C-alpha cells in the first residue's frame, strides 16, 4: 500500500514478513522505481526516540553446581573455628596459671573483684530486663563487661557506665533497637539510691550520662578490638539437649531448667561466697571455657542432678534407668573433657549446699580449685 505525501512516496506493508523479504531482495517492482525514504513522525527534532529492545540470544547455560545439603545446627561443629570460643582465642584464660588482673595490681583483692564482677552482671541483667532485651543480649553484654575488666581495673572505670555501654553495644550487635535516652533513664533509675528515683533524675543528669555512655562505647570497642561476636552457650545447650533426648527419654524442660541455672551462674561470675584464690577462675568460668564446653558442663550436671529418668516407649510398661549410667555411656559429651569442665562448674558452689547427687563431684572440684 502506497502513501503519497509531497515529494516522497512511502510504501507500507501490512505483512511484516513480506516487507522484510522485499527489502532484502531489493525488488524494484514493489517500490515501482521510486526512491524509498524513511518516514518520521511530525515531532520536534529534540524529542528523544526510544530504541528497540536488545535481541536476546539463546545461549546455552551451564547447569548450576550441586548444592550440598547439611543438617541444620544451632552451633558450629567442634572442629570449626568459633571465634572467641575457639581454644586459641586470646579471650580464654587458663584456670591453672595465676591470673594477675589489672584490678589485682591496683590493690583490689581477688574476692572483692569477683564480687564486683557479679554485682555488675546483676546490674546488666536488671537493665536488659527493663529494656525488654532478649537473653542473648544479656549474655553478650556480660561477656563484654568481663572481658573489659580483664584488661582494665575496676578502680579506674565506673562499672555502671561500662555495664550500660556494654548493654548499648550488645543491643546493636543483636539488632535490637534501644534509644540511648531510654537506656540512660533506666540505668539512672537502677543506680540511684534516692527513695523517689523518678524525681531525683534531672535532664542535666541524663545528658551527662548519655555523653559518658557514648564515650565508654568507644573505649569498649577499642578494648575488644571490635571483636563483638560472642558465641551463645544457651543455643549450644539447646542443641546438645536435643541430641541427648534422642538417646534417652527425659523431661526436656526440667533438664534444661536446671542446666540454665548452672549456665547463668557461670556467665554472671558466681563464686563460693566470694572466696577465690589467686589461681581461681575469678568466678568467671565463661572466660575459661568455650561455648560448647559451657553447654556440655551445664547439661552434664543437670543430668546428674536428675538421677533417675522414666523412659516411655512403645512397650506397655514404663521402666527406670539410672541417669548416671547414661552419662557414662553416651557420646553426647565426647567432644569435651567433661569431668574437668564439671569440676570447674561445681567449684563455684559450696559442696554442702548441693544435692547429694552432686556432692561427690563438688568435693573433687573443691580439692582441685
pLDDT(356) > 70: yes
Cell of 242: 536435643
Give the tens place of pLDDT for each residue, 33-83: 444 444 444 444 444 444 444 444 444 444 444 434 333 333 333 333 333
Q: Find the DSSP H helices in the chain.
A: 16-25, 28-31, 102-105, 110-130, 135-148, 159-173, 180-191, 197-200, 203-224, 233-245, 252-268, 291-305, 323-329, 338-346, 356-368
d(CA 348, CA 342): 10
Q: Please choose, from the candidates 125, 123, 117, 156, the residue with its C-alpha nearest in 3D space to the C-alpha of residue 274.
A: 117
> Which percentage of the chain shows pLDDT scores above 90?
20
Q: What is the pLDDT of residue 362?
A: 67
* pLDDT, average across residues 138-167: 92
Give the tens place of pLDDT for each residue, 9-28: 455 556 666 666 665 565 44
Domains contained in the chain, CATH given: 2-31 (no CATH), 94-224 (1.10.472.10), 233-368 (no CATH)
Q: What is the average pLDDT value for the chain, to the nearest integer?
A: 71
pLDDT(192) > 50: yes
Q: What is the pLDDT of residue 90?
A: 73
pLDDT(345) > 90: no
Give the tens place of pLDDT for each residue, 162-173: 999 999 999 999
Q: What is the pLDDT of residue 347?
A: 77
pLDDT(84) > 90: no
Q: What is the pLDDT of residue 279?
A: 40
Q: What interhelical angle do 338-346 and 291-305 show, nearest 10? A: 80
Sequence length of the chain is 369
d(CA 161, CA 163): 5
* Confidence grade of residue 181 (pLDDT, cut at 50, 70, 90): very high
pLDDT(322) > 90: no
Q: Which residue has the higher pLDDT, 28 or 144?
A: 144
Q: Which residue has the higher pLDDT, 74 or 122?
A: 122
Q: What is the pLDDT of residue 245?
A: 76
pLDDT(220) > 90: yes
Q: What is the pLDDT of residue 55?
A: 44
Q: What is the pLDDT of residue 40?
A: 43
d(CA 306, CA 299): 11
* Confidence grade of residue 313 (pLDDT, cut at 50, 70, 90): very low
Write down the pTM of the prediction: 0.65
pLDDT(263) > 80: yes
> Which percentage of the chain shows pLDDT scores above 70?
58
Burial class (CB in 10 A: 0-12, 13-18, 19+), 238: middle
Amino acid at each position: 500500500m502506497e502513501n503519497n505525501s509531497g515529494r516522497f512516496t512511502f510504501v507500507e506493508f501490512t505483512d511484516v514478513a513480506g516487507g522484510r523479504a522485499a527489502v532484502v531482495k531489493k525488488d524494484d517492482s514493489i517500490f515501482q522505481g521510486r526512491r524509498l525514504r524513511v518516514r518520521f513522525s511530525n515531532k520536534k527534532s529534540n524529542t528523544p526516540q526510544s530504541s528497540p529492545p536488545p535481541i536476546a540470544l539463546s545461549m546455552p547455560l551451564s547447569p548450576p553446581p550441586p548444592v550440598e545439603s547439611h543438617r541444620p545446627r544451632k552451633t558450629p561443629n567442634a572442629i570449626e573455628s568459633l571465634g572467641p570460643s575457639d581454644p586459641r582465642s586470646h579471650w580464654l584464660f587458663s584456670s591453672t596459671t595465676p591470673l594477675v588482673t589489672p584490678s589485682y595490681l591496683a590493690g583490689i583483692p581477688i574476692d572483692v573483684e569477683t564480687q564486683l564482677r557479679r554485682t555488675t552482671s546483676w546490674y546488666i541483667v536488671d537493665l536488659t530486663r527493663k529494656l525488654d532485651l532478649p537473653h542473648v543480649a544479656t549474655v553478650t553484654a556480660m561477656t563484654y563487661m568481663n572481658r573489659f575488666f580483664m584488661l582494665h581495673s575496676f578502680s579506674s572505670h565506673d562499672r555502671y557506665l561500662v555495664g550500660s555501654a556494654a548493654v548499648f553495644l550488645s543491643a546493636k550487635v543483636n539488632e535490637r533497637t534501644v534509644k540511648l535516652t531510654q537506656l540512660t533513664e533506666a540505668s539512672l533509675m537502677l543506680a540511684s539510691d534516692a527513695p523517689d528515683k523518678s524525681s531525683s533524675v534531672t535532664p542535666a543528669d541524663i545528658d551527662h550520662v548519655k555523653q559518658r555512655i557514648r564515650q565508654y562505647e568507644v573505649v569498649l570497642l577499642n578494648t575488644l578490638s571490635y571483636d563483638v561476636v560472642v558465641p551463645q552457650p544457651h543455643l549450644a545447650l539447646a542443641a546438645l539437649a536435643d541430641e541427648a533426648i534422642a538417646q534417652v527419654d527425659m523431661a526436656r524442660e526440667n533438664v534444661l531448667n536446671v542446666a540454665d541455672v548452672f549456665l547463668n551462674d557461670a556467665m554472671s561470675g558466681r563464686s563460693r561466697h566470694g572466696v577465690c584464690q589467686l589461681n581461681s577462675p575469678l568466678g568467671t568460668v565463661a572466660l575459661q571455657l568455650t561455648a560448647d564446653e559451657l553447654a556440655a558442663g551445664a547439661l552434664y550436671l543437670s543430668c546428674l542432678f536428675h538421677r533417675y529418668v522414666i523412659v516411655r516407649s512403645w512397650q506397655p510398661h514404663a521402666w527406670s534407668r539410672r541417669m548416671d549410667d547414661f552419662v557414662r555411656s553416651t557420646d553426647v559429651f565426647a567432644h569435651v573433657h567433661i569431668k574437668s569442665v564439671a569440676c570447674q562448674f561445681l567449684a563455684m558452689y559450696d559442696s554442702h549446699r548441693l544435692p547429694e547427687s552432686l556432692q561427690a563431684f563438688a568435693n573433687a572440684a573443691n580439692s582441685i580449685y
